[in-house]
Amino acid sequence: MTIQVMKQAIRQRIIADREQLTAAERACLSQAISERIANLNAYRTANTVLAYMSFGAEFSTEEWVQQALRDDKCVLLPKVNRATNELDIYRVSDLQHDLAPGLWNIREPLVERCAKINTLKEVGFILLPGIAFGRDGARLGYGGGFYDKLLARMKDANQGCHPALVAGAFAIQLVEGIPQEATDHKVEWVVTENEAIKCVSDKHVDR
């Protein structure tokens, strides 16, 4: 079985499990996850945070993003650049007015309202999306490679600047033995409704 087949099998299983949660359950669990993330020292000490807007049955990030704005953080959100197939990053200040549905109906920054950020050296904290995560920091995304490419770009440009890489996820998204490839980036923290897991860094995976 190839790594891609293994990854796809995990994706399908976890997405199905996530879909079993009711909207009320997801809201309750998301609130607990948001509070744990906001209590991380890495978040409290960061002036600039890169977030994402959730969709579907994902852990809902909206409350956490609103909290970051209330905390006077510089909040950055991604927008898919369909020409380059990479993520462009914009600063947002008002989720009601600065966002509109984009690719896959995910809310993205409106380019006419938000400033594009070309240097990400100031980013101290990144909240990463994903389908499944391991206690070792392994992250399984949706397969597009958008965030792995973004993190590689940041590493090349930042020259020693290492933002905290954090994932918020429901406990049912924790999986043992997620296969990893050379281009995959691990996270430092996986935060669930039950715990904040400090992952053991793996030297050969970029960090």
pLDDT at 157: 67
- Predicted structure pTM score: 0.92
Q: Which tokens go with 138?
A: 């392994």
Gap between the Cα atoms of 74 and 76, Å rounded: 7
CB 129 within 8 A of CB 58: yes
CATH of domain 3-198: 3.40.50.10420
169 backbone dihedrals φ, ψ, rounded to 5°: -155, 155
Report the phi/psi class of residue 85: left, alpha or beta, with left for phi > 0 and alpha for psi in -120 to 50. left
Q: Which tokens go with 52?
A: 């994402």
Which residues of the chain carry a pLDDT beneath 70?
Answer: 157-161, 200-207
| Residues 153/50/98/24 CA torsion (nearest 10 deg) | 130
